[in-house]
Amino acid sequence: MIRYSLKRLLTAIPVLWIAITVCFFVLRLAPGGPFDGERPLPQTVKDNLAAHYNLDKPLVSQYLIYVGNVAKGDLGPSFITEDFTVSEQIAIGLPYTLKLGGLAFVFSIIVGVSAGIYGALNRNALSDYALASLILAGLVVPNFLVAPVFQLIFGLKLEWFPVGGWGDGSVRFLILPISVLSLPHIARISRLMRGSMIEALNTNFIRTARSKGLSDRAIVWRHALRPALTPIVSYLGPAASYLLTGSLVVESIFGIPGIGRYFISAALNRDYGMVLGTVIFYMVLIMILNLLVDIFYSWLDPRVRTQ
């Protein structure tokens, strides 16, 4: 397992390098720059800023300097926020993003798996069709449309929850953003769970368990759940990455001071350093999460063996 993990980490390095290269040149070659505001700066000031951030050097030299700094663990300065480096801004917003994404991740698994099991045990019933319709709606409607609707209904109309902000970080302030962020993943997990549970319940060892007189609850929790979770585990890696990247929009809508807020502001202001640093951070985090999911997958299903 250690050899497999090291191999996966080594193969991730070229992927990360290609992503950094593509993002770097796309940002640099796009029209405009970080110092092109509504009020133009004097040319002398612009030249001094360009020299300070190495923007006066050839593009290839800028790229080599940046890659060398990244290899040392330095994500560079922010072009807009002079008081903080990119690493410092990510460190400030990371706890908020991880708390939001982590709670949404756990909530998606619990609700999605429960809904999938319920649908499998009540297959073709009216409640199964109603649940499937509700799940389909959560899958189709994008979160940037669901968020304002939830804010209007549950925040302004019913006044159950705050419409935005972090507040004291309690669950009351996080229920709406967690719900919005989790909806599409609850839908996908429940659909996967329903299909895999139906397949597991029709296997021979489940028929044997039924012939022994075990109750449906014992059959599900002791025998069918573990093999039915196999496709769910394979989806957890992409789900974690979707939750982290999807939180960029949700954080901006609900005013949560996470990494997403910094990223949106940096993208609008053409802050090369912050945009690239955020992309690199997310890619590394996603690669680690996918590796952990692969390891857990091989533990869950003994038939899976890493070569």
Count up the domains in the chain and report the number.
Answer: 1
Is there a domain that residue 228 lies in?
yes
- 289 located within any domain: no
Residue 62: CB atoms within 10 Å: 18
Q: Identity (one letter) of the amino acid at 249?
A: V
Tokens in use for 114? Answer: 């429960």
pTM of the complete model: 0.73
**38 domain residue, yes or no:** no
Q: Is residue 286 part of a domain?
A: no
Q: What is the CATH number of the domain that holds 233?
A: 1.10.3720.10
116: enclosing H helix or E strand = helix 86-121
Model confidence at 58, pLDDT cuts 50, 70, 90, reads: confident
* Structural domain containing residue 212: 94-259
Q: Residue 161 — left, alpha, or beta (φ > 0 → left; ψ -120 to 50 → alpha)?
A: beta
In the structure, what pLDDT confidence band is assigned to residue 30 with cuts at 50, 70 and 90? Answer: confident
Whether residue 31 lies inside any domain: the answer is no
Q: Long-range contact list for 217-221, CB < 8 A, 24+ apart?
A: 220/117, 220/121
Q: How confident is the model at residue 302, as a pLDDT?
A: 56
For range 22-36, the mean pLDDT: 76
Q: How confident is the model at residue 109 (pLDDT cuts 50, 70, 90)?
A: confident
Q: What is the mean pLDDT of residues 130-149?
A: 78
Residue with the larger pLDDT of the pair 301 and 215: 215
Alpha carbon distance 99, 243 (integer Å): 11
Asked, for residue 305, whether it belongs to a domain, the answer is no
Q: Is residue 153 part of a domain?
A: yes
Binned at pLDDT 50, 70 and 90, residue 229 comes out as confident
- Looking at mean pLDDT, say which of 84-88, 108-112, 129-133 comes out highest: 108-112
In a domain, 156, yes or no: yes
